[in-house]
Amino acid sequence: MKIRIVAFGIAKDIIKGKELTMDLDNGNSISAVREQLSSIYPEFSKLSSLRFAVNADYVEDSYELKSGDELVLIPPVSGG
Amino acid sequence: MLSKEELIRYNRQIILPDFGIDGQQKLKAASVLVIGAGGLGAPNLLYLAAAGVGHIGIMDFDEVSLSNLHRQVLFNEQSVGKNKAQVAKDKLTELNPNVRLQIYEEPITAQNAMEIIGAYDLVVDGSDNLPTRYLVNDACYFLEKPLVYGAIFRFEGQVSVFNYADENGLRGPNYRDLFPSPPPPDMVPSCSEGGVLGVLPGIIGAMQANEVIKIITGIGTTLSGKLFLYDAQDVSTRTLNIQANPDNPLSGVNPTLTELIDYEAFCSNLVEAIQNEITVQELQELKKADSIHLLDVREDYEYDIANIGGQLIPLNQVVDRVLEIPNDRPVVVMCKSGGRSQNAIDLLKKEGFDNLINLKGGILAWQKEIDHNMDTY
């Protein structure tokens, strides 16, 4: 299953762009996506506390993604 | 009561539908603390003072520098080298002498936060670092004050309202629902490290001021329970719904945080400690902050004699039970004195874990340094 990933903040630096389409290899849960992202982009493992939003809602790690879902990555931002 | 001068000054917002004299009087009666008089602080302070908020606290220990001027529009060349809160007070007095201004030329700390924040109705977070953001969030939660959050990075901004009580008294989510624990500092660049577009804090800070005015006057709806994201590069916006996190150490099902902690340690030491070891004192802080998972690899009978609430998986079972060990947050591994836990870490690293920290001295050090009443063996 393919999903679209949209990155904000430092996550844009890690995936080297704002958007990414990813084929899910190891299951459709958020934790599976987290693992897959960390294996492709090792820097993601440093963002272990990163929460994921699907479409317009923050979701838990157990959430199962559906085809066509848009996954949004929002790391903390500290500037003021 | 509003004076004739005030009625004229605020006329254009008093005549707004739903605003009226009543809205203006609510602003005059309100007190707002603005933490950080920098990029976000400037538009907040200018618009809140201009709108007639009766009492504004300005908190900033820092001095104006030349590299601030492209975005911190409260200041000019003559301000360079002077305290930001003091310069802001002088400017705002010229803008609107009806506003009572109080300045704090000091950083906000776990020692002064409760007293200072406690004196205001509402807080604006315009700070520039994560330890302060967690500190302000936690203090506002304990004091039941609404917190208007804004943060910027390069071309992007975030705005939300935390800890806001609705008409039924139910409090909305807070910063820890959004970001439960801080990532390593190199993953959160500041404006001085990552750069920032000068106009961005103007946009995001003005949006914060708008939330403040709505909260005080009761007009419209707020960003409570929502995170607003703005990207100046492609003018894209997004509003995400934030859920209360049941594991939130402040407001979750089993709260573990009941007082302010050491936020510098919370945001930095943990990271340096990863792949290394920590002391029992550091563990005590991390346990309070609920930012780690604790794994105890001793035998059942040892655990029965003395334990500090860790997950029990004896050393000879850890490899078979790896699925029970979290890999998405730091895990502190402990035993009696620190040897078996290091063996467990070596075994688990081969299984792909990179989030393990050894507890130096084990339960014996805890008994000696932290809890003398604990049984030892």
CA distance B182 to chain A (A): 7
B231/A47 Cβ within 8 A? no
B40/A76 Cβ within 8 A? no
Radius of gyration of chain B (CA): 24
Domains for chain B: give ranges and CATH numbers.
4-241 (3.40.50.720), 274-369 (3.40.250.10)
3-state secondary structure (DSSP) of residue A7: strand
Cα gap B29→B32, rounded to integer Å: 10
**With respect to CATH, is domain A2-73 assigned 3.90.420.10?**
no
**Res B155: pLDDT:** 95
CA distance A63 to chain B (A): 14
pLDDT digits (tens, 9 = 90+) for B52-67: 999 999 999 999 999 9
Looking at the annotation, which residues of B are catalytic?
191, 335
pLDDT above 70 for B207: yes
A8/B182 Cβ within 8 A? no
Measured N-to-C along each axis, helices B199-217 and B41-51 cross at an angle, to the nearest 10 degrees, of 40
Cα gap B119→A80, rounded to integer Å: 23
pLDDT digits (tens, 9 = 90+) for B108-132: 999 999 999 999 999 999 999 999 9
Buried (b) or exposed (e) across B314-346, using 16+ Cβ within 10 A?
Answer: bbeebeeeeeebebbebbbbbbbebebbbebbe
Q: Quickly state the pLDDT bin for B273 (edges 50, 70, 90).
A: very low
Tell which residue, B252, B342, B322, B264, has the closest CA to residue B290.
B252
Kindly give the pairing relationship between strand B147-153 and strand B156-162: antiparallel
Q: State the Cα torsion B320-B321-B322-B323 to the nearest 10°.
A: 130
pLDDT digits (tens, 9 = 90+) for B295-306: 999 999 999 999
pLDDT digits (tens, 9 = 90+) for B360-371: 899 999 998 898
Cβ count near A36 (within 10 Å): 17
**Res B23: pLDDT:** 98
Nearest to A58 among B40, B238, B241 (CB): B241
